[in-house]
Structure 1
Amino acid sequence: MSTSKFKPPMRNGVSASQVYLPKLKTQPETLLSYLAEKFPHISVQQWQQRFQDQLIFDENAQTLNVDSRYLENSHIFYYRFLEHEVHVPFQEQILFENEHFIAVDKPHFLTISPTGQYLQETLLVRLKKATNNPDLTPIHRLDRETAGIVLISKCLETRGIYQQLFAEQQVHKIYHAIAAYRPELSFPQEVNLRMEKGQPFYTMRVTQGETNSCTQIQCVAHNHMWAKYQLQPRTGKQHQLRVHLNHLNIPIKNDPFYPTVLHKSASDFSNPLQLLAKEISFKDPVSQKEMHFTSLKELTIE
């Protein structure tokens, strides 16, 4: 297998995607026909447009076209683009930066990384454009619907060290959420559940078996209808906090997934999920200093 040493530059904050062309029993006639078959969710017309816009090139930085041959055991690069992308009218805020990472206060409705219908309107591409740093990579994740503190790696050399902190649960996280108040529930309490992939595929469900998710929950204020909860996850399962509160029959206010999946338009920025990654603290593995970051955002009971 060839290894490409060429590293394409960013274009408008977007890093190029790399595709390896393997040796096949039946070799495609053109590169276009291979890409159309390999990525069926992208139409032939879209691939033709990318070739026309000179967004596809080989490992020698040569621009490719719709007639370019399929060259086995080589790499090609292409840039993603979206013809129509909804602008997210909320701004992220950088709270801290050193040579290793950035601590960012993310708004609701902003996806962290390019995916599906989101490209320019993602936290990562916005930050790459602002810093001109193609090596930016999320150290951990927040849902598009969740606001608050996110850490972004700035350099390859130390990225794994910081990611390992999260993998080994050495990061202390505090979330705030607004959900229904139920006087019969006793707090503080610890919720331990087994969570697995649900239906639709982007949701999670509670199942029987050994627990794999743990959250400590406190009620910090209420007005007899709504309450503000402080959540401290001990594990990091997808949608953990949303599933745990829903399991207690107090789903987070404005949750579009739990208990019922509601399909909102990408341009509907009303009723944000009332979940905020309020604080993150950890011992920096490089400087050995205690780090603590707090979101400037606040959730309020109405």
Structure 2
Amino acid sequence: MPDAPRTHAGTPASRFQLPAGPWVTVFDALCACFPAIAAERWRDRFARGLVRDANDHALALAAPYRVGANIRYFREVADEPVIPYVETLVHADANLVVACKPHFLPVAPVGAYVRETLLTRLVRRLDNPALVPLHRIDRETAGLVLFSANPATRGICQALFRERRIRKQYLAVAPPLPELSFPYVHRSRLEPGEPFFRMREGVGEPNSETVIDVFARGTDTWTYRLEPVTGRKHQLRVHMAALGAPILHDRCYPGLEDQRPDDPERPLQLFAHTLAFDDPITGELREFTATVGPM
């Protein structure tokens, strides 16, 4: 079968590492690991060369399963919602790309979103299917996201996050906390909550830490500067809610609100505001500031 392009309809591939299991073929493993996707859809993807190995070679339907194998596949979603908000390209060089994401735009393909993601938009805009996000921020959060643009230097760029050599600061609008002394350090144990996409604070040794300071004081709300020391899912949102100051317009914390369409007049007031690190290739200090901020 001839190789297909590294993008499909301008959409980059999703990546998946095959876990341990009893399967005979890659097809069997994918059907088991993604039960929400019909087997017929997987057969169609294999037939069109949309399931590929780590070297970007199309896999046959009978390709043998191997634990730990890295698979690339192209997702397709019918009737994908259009997100009318536009990202800003902040920086681009041969190794790193920084973009400022608007509210409601996912960083990478997930759920009902494939084309309408920051990654897919940047792949098209920069004509670089090798782009990979080095970290994620929530769909509801706006602000800076850092991408690797070069597979040859990706490992040392990923180490910035793994070794905590990158400084990230967020701005958040929330109720005042006059009883606290700032800067305040909040530590807790975060664990999966209910439903599955929420997190909660549990009992036990802390696995999350946030440094909280006041950026500006208002009458009804304050703007806080949040610096996550760890990078747990929904960490900043859970920590602020736990302190009694949930971030303005948070639909998940402290309680889950009824599902409703995204409201551009009431976006979550959380912004990935700055990124700072020593460039792992050149050694120079890199500092970036978001082009969006509190309303």
CA distance in 2, matches of 1:249, 1:184: 11
Give the structure-2-normalised TM-score.
Answer: 0.84
Q: Which residue of 2 aligns with 1:176?
A: 171
**1:277 counterpart (272, 281, 291):** 272
Write the deviation string for residues 218-251 of structure 1: whole angstroms up to 9, x where unpaired.
Answer: 1222222111111112221111111111111000
How far off its partner does 1:39 sit? 3.6
Q: Which residue of 2 aligns with 1:124?
A: 119
1:178-257 → structure 2 map (5 Å cutoff): 178-257=173-252
Larger Rg: 1
Q: SS in structure 1 opposite 2:11?
A: coil
Q: Which residue of 2 aligns with 1:14?
A: 11
CA distance in 2, matches of 1:187, 1:195: 23
Contact 1:13-1:132 at 8 Å conserved across structures: no
Q: Which runs of 5+ in 1 are unaligned?
A: none
Tell me which amino acid in the other structure corresponds to 1:12: A
1:45-194 → structure 2 map (5 Å cutoff): 46-47=41-42, 54=48, 56=50, 70=62, 72=64, 79-194=74-189
Contact 2:27-2:63 at 8 Å conserved across structures: no
How far off its partner does 1:259 sit? 0.4
CA distance in 2, matches of 1:229, 1:61: 48
CA distance in 2, matches of 1:18, 1:145: 23
CA distance in 2, matches of 1:97, 1:127: 11
Q: SS in structure 2 opposite 1:246?
A: helix
Residues 5 and 136 of structure 1: CA distance in aligned 2, closer, same or farther (over 3 Å):
farther
How far off its partner does 1:11 sit? 1.9
The count of aligned residue pairs is: 289
CA distance in 2, matches of 1:18, 1:240: 25
What root-mean-square deviation, in Å, do the aligned CA atoms of Structure 1 and Structure 2 show? 3.4
Q: Which runs of 5+ in 2 are unaligned?
A: none
Contact 1:138-1:153 at 8 Å conserved across structures: yes
How far off its partner does 1:189 sit? 1.4
How far off its partner does 1:167 sit? 1.3
Give the structure-1-normalised TM-score.
Answer: 0.82
Which stretch shifts more, 122-131 or 268-277?
A: 268-277
Contact 1:165-1:171 at 8 Å conserved across structures: yes
